[in-house]
Structure formats: C-alpha cells, structure tokens
C-alpha cells in the first residue's frame, strides 16, 4: 500500500488487477491474439500509454525494478511522467539501465541491449489491430483473424512493391506470431522487429483506449511479413552515432542548424550512455570530431 497517495499499490484496485492478469494469461496462452479487456479510465490520457500502464500496474510487485522509455529514451517527458506515476503509487525502484530492470515499459522502441529471461517488456499500443488500415471494422477483423484470412495484408505489401519497388512500411511493421496470428508490434521501427523473434523476455502489449491486451511468450517465433524475392530488411544509416560511435543502433536525426546540418545519435539513451561511460563514471565523447556534416 502506498499511504501517501491514498490509492492502492500501483493505483489499480486488486479486482481490476486480477481481471487484467486473467487477460494477460489468456494472451500468453494464445500468442499474438488480441484479448479484449475491461480497460479502466486512468489518470493519464488515452493514447498516452494507458494500456501499457494498466499492464504494468497488473504485473508490478514491490521487488520489481522499473524502466520506462519513450522513443528509446528514459528522459522524454512522457516517460518521465509514467515513471513518476509508478514511483509515486508503488515506491518501487526505478532505473534507466536496461540490464537492471525487471520491467520495461516502452513506447516505440525495444532497447538495443538484448533482453534476458525473467525480464518483461510492456509495449504501449495505440492501434492493436494490424488489419485496421485495410478494414476499419473490428467485427470484420476479428473474423479475419479467426479464419486466418490474411490475404489483404499480403496484397497491401505487394501493392507497395508494385508502386515503390519495396515494402514502404517503416514502423508498426506487421509480424506473424508463432506461425498463426498476424500482430501489430506497436509503432516500433521495423529495425526492432528482429529483436522480438525468440526473445528470452516476456513481451506484453497493452492498448488502453482500444481495450486489448496481447502477448508474445518467451522464445516465440516472430516473423516479419515479406516475400521470397523481397525479403524483410531493416533501416541502415551511413553514419554512426555522433556521441558513442555505435554503428549498429537505431539513430535519431537531430537538426543542428538552419543550414541543413544534421547529426545522428542513438535513440536508446541508455545504450549510448553505457558505451560512453568512462572508468571514472563520466560520459566520454567517443567521436570528438564534429559529426554534424
């Protein structure tokens, strides 16, 4: 109990947590299947992570160590706000270090450092339905999932190839889970999709406004949809991170002047800081040359 706030541990009442845990269990049992749940109204706005927050609130315990990231960063305002929400309502330890966290709530990224067994990553999901772009009606898409009627998705990807010569989806790139359900990985860049495949950590997805929970159990097959002659590929940059020199991480583009100057830095702030950590604990700049060119 968190007496200071007058609310139950992790804000939600125990009955609600139990209801959410049941939905999570069902979701884990049917990987990639969207389980409707009675999402509650949270004190943060819909669309700002209420699904992820409810899932986190349902699984968090006093011994957990929580990390919250938005766009890969621990210090973006909404990540700060959500981390504070749990610090206030649970008193659990929080961290920015991927390796120290037992629970990681995320919006739009998977950390660069591989996750391990025993960790849980909780994705905030705006639109849980991967078929929504092709079919607006939930009553229809539920049937399509039930019948594995996924032709429209392949047609959409094929049309991209015909028009653009490649699949032109760069984030929220659809995946097939355990060879059965097509699933929206949430708006992570497709760069992160391969990390989902056979991940040792449990992956939970919460969509608060749409009231859906889904899951990928540890070591489950997650394939990004593609064609034999147009295999799935991820984003690459010609530059390395201007701060830590990482050549294999997802980069954010930062506009540094009004002359077209750009620099590229790791979107995962913990990954970047970890690489730059000197023996004395201070952050080093590994590439001192001006990378803004």
Which residue in 67, 190, 195, 275 binds other proteins (CB under 8 A)?
Answer: 190
Q: Which residues in 249-288 contact other proteins (CB under 8 A)?
A: 250-254, 256, 263, 265, 267, 269, 272-273
Burial zone of 41 (CB within 10 Å; 0-12 exposed, 13-18 middle, 19+ buried) = exposed
Tell me whether residue 179 is one of the annotated catalytic residues: no
Residue carrying structure tokens 């120290």: 100
| Residue 37 in contact with other proteins, rule: CB under 8 A | yes
| Residue 239 in contact with other proteins, rule: CB under 8 A | no
Q: Which residues in 118-157 contact other proteins (CB under 8 A)?
A: 126, 137-139
Burial zone of 279 (CB within 10 Å; 0-12 exposed, 13-18 middle, 19+ buried) = exposed
Residue carrying structure tokens 């201070």: 282
H or E element at residue 79 = helix 77-90
| Residue 99 in contact with other proteins, rule: CB under 8 A | no
Catalytic residue from among 32, 39, 51, 72:
32
Tell me whether residue 266 is one of the annotated catalytic residues: yes
Tell me whether residue 261 is one of the annotated catalytic residues: no
Alpha-carbon distance of 95 to 104, in angstroms, equals 9
Alpha-carbon distance of 29 to 214, in angstroms, equals 10
Q: Least distance (Å) from other proteins to the CB of residue 264?
A: 9
Please give the DSSP secondary-structure letter assigned to residue 284: P
SS3 227: strand
| Residue 243 in contact with other proteins, rule: CB under 8 A | yes
| Residue 188 in contact with other proteins, rule: CB under 8 A | yes
Q: Considering beta carbons, is residue 21 or 209 the nearer one to other proteins?
A: 209
Alpha-carbon distance of 188 to 109, in angstroms, equals 5
Q: How far is CA 196 from CA 112, 240, 251, in A?
A: 12, 23, 19
Catalytic residue from among 151, 272, 274, 278:
272
Is the Cβ–Cβ distance between 29 and 213 less than 8 Å?
no
Select from 107-115, 143-151, 174-182, 214-222 the region that touches other proteins (CB under 8 A).
107-115
Residue 104's beta-bridge partner residues? 67, 121
Residue carrying structure tokens 């608060």: 208
Interface with other proteins (CB under 8 A), residue total 70
Which residue in 30, 134, 161, 287 binds other proteins (CB under 8 A)?
Answer: 161
Which residue in 56, 94, 101, 108 binds other proteins (CB under 8 A)?
Answer: 108
Q: How far is CA 246 from CA 87, 105, 250, in A?
A: 32, 24, 9
Which residue in 116, 148, 170, 284 binds other proteins (CB under 8 A)?
Answer: 170
Tell me whether residue 244 is one of the annotated catalytic residues: yes
Which residues have a catalytic role annotated?
32, 241, 244, 266, 272
Q: Report the interface residues with other proteins, using CB under 8 A.
A: 7, 11, 13, 36-43, 45-48, 50, 70-73, 75-81, 84, 107-109, 126, 137-139, 161-166, 168, 170-172, 187-191, 209, 211, 235, 237, 242-243, 250-254, 256, 263, 265, 267, 269, 272-273, 290, 292
């Amino acid at each position: 109990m968190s007496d200071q706030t007058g609310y139950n541990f992790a804000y939600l009442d125990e009955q609600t947590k139990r209801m959410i845990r049941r939905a999570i269990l069902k979701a884990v049992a049917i990987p990639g299947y969207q389980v409707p749940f009675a999402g509650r109204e949270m004190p943060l706005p819909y669309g700002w992570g209420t699904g992820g927050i409810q899932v986190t609130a349902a699984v968090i315990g006093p011994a957990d160590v929580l990390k919250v990231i938005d766009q890969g960063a621990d210090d973006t305002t909404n990540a700060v706000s959500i981390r504070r929400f749990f610090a206030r309502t649970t008193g659990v330890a929080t961290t920015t270090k991927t390796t120290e966290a037992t629970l990681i709530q995320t919006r739009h990224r998977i950390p660069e450092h591989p996750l391990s067994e025993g960790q849980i990553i909780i994705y905030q999901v705006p639109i849980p339905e991967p078929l929504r772009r092709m079919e607006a009606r939930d009553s229809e898409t539920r049937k399509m999932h039930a019948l594995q009627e996924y032709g429209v998705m392949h047609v959409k990807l094929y049309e991209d190839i015909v028009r653009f010569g490649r699949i032109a989806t760069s984030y929220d790139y659809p995946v097939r889970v355990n060879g059965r359900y097509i699933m929206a990985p949430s708006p992570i860049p497709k760069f992160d999709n391969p990390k989902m495949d056979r991940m040792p950590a449990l992956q939970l997805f919460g969509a608060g406004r749409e009231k859906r929970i889904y899951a990928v159990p540890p070591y489950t097959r997650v394939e990004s949809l593609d064609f034999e002659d147009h295999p799935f590929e991820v984003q690459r940059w010609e530059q390395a991170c201007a701060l830590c020199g990482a050549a294999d991480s997802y980069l954010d583009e930062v506009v540094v002047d009004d002359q077209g100057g750009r620099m590229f830095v790791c979107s995962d702030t913990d990954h970047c800081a970890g690489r730059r950590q000197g023996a004395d604990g201070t952050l080093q700049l590994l590439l001192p040359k001006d990378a803004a060119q």
